[in-house]
Amino acid sequence: MSNQHMPLWEVFIRPRNGLDHKHVGSIHAADSEMALQAARDVYTRREEGNSIWVVQSRDIVASDPDKSSENFDPAGDKVYRHPSFYDIPDEVGHM
Amino acid sequence: MYSQGLIGADTQTEESEEFLAAFQARIDREEKIEPNDPMPAGYRKTLIRQIGQHAHSEIVGMLPEGNWITRAPTLRRKLALLAKVQDEGGHGLYLYSAAETLGVSREQMTEELLSGKAKYSSIFNYPTPTWADMGAIGWLVDGAAIMNQVALCRCSFGPYARAMVRICKEESFHQRQGYELTVALAQGTPEQKEMAQDALNRWWWPSLMMFGPSDSDSQHSDQNMKWKIKRFSNDALRQKFVDATVPQAEHIGLKMPDPDLKWNPEKNKGQGGYDFGEIDWSEFWRVVKGGGPMNRDRIAARQKAWDDGAWVREAALVHAEKRRRRAREEASLEAAE
């Protein structure tokens, strides 16, 4: 019984207001409340943040790295997506 | 501690030449490898072993100092020691977290530590009979750890490198508080100074052993350097540690317990460095293989902590299940209304 797996949670921390929550690591805990407490103890001992998210690791859906070339094609042939593709008369100045 | 994790590491791997070459090319381009990326089985196995042992070292490393928390001579020292030991627990958890991204479970790692299958740094198998040992551990043991860990911040495996960055930031206080404590003793009464010297005498050689076997005796070292799991050789880091530490001892009037220690202006490509005596590798291997003065005590303490915590883990899981069941029942009642 005591060797039953304690659920794994991924921990995200917002360093300060104005910034996004960022993944920092994981923690084991029986429920969400204890996961938050453990995350606070482990990941914020020195003013690392003011807000924590935890989410069970098994609930995260990740893209397949084997498909990263098709998923994240640099789209080098789609130059029309960039502002420099378009000609603007010099006299108009910065746009 | 950290290069010791590679002792006996099996870097053998069975992928095709093409796969291995593509992987090596990524490493050579300084790309970080992330958990879901394709990687050779040997790379994965080596990292699980190294990160696991590093984590175990942090956890077992809490024991020699935990021994002195209740007997710290002042409140200031007690606060520092408590915070340091808590950090070490945290470092262990960052590292377990990094190892788990490679597909090994925490339970499995804990079992391997308790059964003796997984090792931890040899340094924690030495006893801490005096208060001066708290100074020597912070100054020398954490100093040696930092030397290793700074190098590991650039490890090719992303989660390990990121954990190391956080650990290094926190570790600097550990070394400084240890040195400060040693300075206080060295400048105290003759008895206190003697106590500091005695601690240095006992911790110096084991600290040098923390860097692991000499490069010439280090199996698989080449492959791990090639994969950029480690970036510097054991001997290079050890030399750096000696060169940094000897002047710190001299500054406070303590003497390294090594009659062969002397300045050599030719060393380090003419920049100078210290020659030092032969390390007793038979002691090192004895301690690594379980024959150190405290090996049995350390594992017994971890086993007791694990066993004593069993009811807490069970109760937490049962409580969480009960709350989930109640939430489900309430939801179905509401739906029926």
Q: Which residue of B has its CA nearest to A45?
A: B87
Flag if B317 and A65 touch (Cβ within 8 Å). no
Flag if A25 and B97 touch (Cβ within 8 Å). yes
Whether A69 has a pLDDT exceeding 90, the answer reads no
Alpha-carbon gap, residue B120 to B311, rounded angstroms: 27
Q: Quote the strand ranges of chain B, DSSP E.
A: 262-264, 273-275
Ramachandran region of residue B258, left (φ > 0), alpha (ψ -120 to 50) or beta?
beta
Nearest to B199 by CA among B134, B142, B260, B123: B134
A contacts of B163 (beta carbons < 8 Å): 25
**SS3 at position B9:** coil
ipTM of the complex: 0.85
Nearest to B172 by CA among B203, B139, B205, B204: B139
pLDDT score for B215: 81
The predicted model gives A60-80 an average pLDDT of 85
pLDDT score for A94: 87
Nearest to A35 by CA among A25, A27, A47: A27
- How would residue B336 be classed by pLDDT, with cut points 50, 70 and 90? confident
pLDDT score for B7: 61
Q: What does the mean pLDDT of chain B come to? A: 93
CB < 8 Å from B in window 31-50 of A: 31, 34, 41-43, 45-46
B contacts of A65 (beta carbons < 8 Å): 34, 36-38
DSSP assignments along B239-252, one per residue? HHHHHHHHHHHHHT
- How would residue B286 be classed by pLDDT, with cut points 50, 70 and 90? very high
- Alpha-carbon gap: A56 to the closest alpha carbon of chain B (Å): 14
Give me Rg for the CA atoms of chain A: 22
Whether B291 has a pLDDT exceeding 60, the answer reads yes
The answer to whether A8 faces chain B, any CB pair under 8 Å, is yes
pTM over cut 0.80: yes
The predicted model gives B108-120 an average pLDDT of 94
**Contact (CB, 8 A) for B26 and B90:** no
**Which has the minimum average pLDDT: A65-79, B112-126, B322-336?**
A65-79
A contacts of B310 (beta carbons < 8 Å): 1-2
The answer to whether B319 faces chain A, any CB pair under 8 Å, is yes
**Contact (CB, 8 A) for B298 and B289:** no
pLDDT tens figures, B292-315:
999 999 999 999 999 999 999 999
Whether B239 has a pLDDT exceeding 60, the answer reads yes
Which tokens is A19 given?
Answer: 């910034």
- Alpha-carbon gap: B258 to the closest alpha carbon of chain A (Å): 39
Nearest CB partner across the interface for A2, out of B36, B106, B314 = B314
- How would residue B145 be classed by pLDDT, with cut points 50, 70 and 90? very high
A contacts of B80 (beta carbons < 8 Å): none
pLDDT tens figures, B66-107:
989 999 999 999 999 999 999 999 999 999 999 999 999 999
**Contact (CB, 8 A) for A37 and A81:** no
Alpha-carbon gap, residue B43 to B10, rounded angstroms: 9
pLDDT tens figures, B5-27:
666 666 666 789 999 999 999 99
pLDDT score for B335: 87
Nearest to B199 by CA among B125, B139, B274: B139
The answer to whether B172 faces chain A, any CB pair under 8 Å, is no
pLDDT score for B220: 65
Whether A2 has a pLDDT exceeding 60, the answer reads no
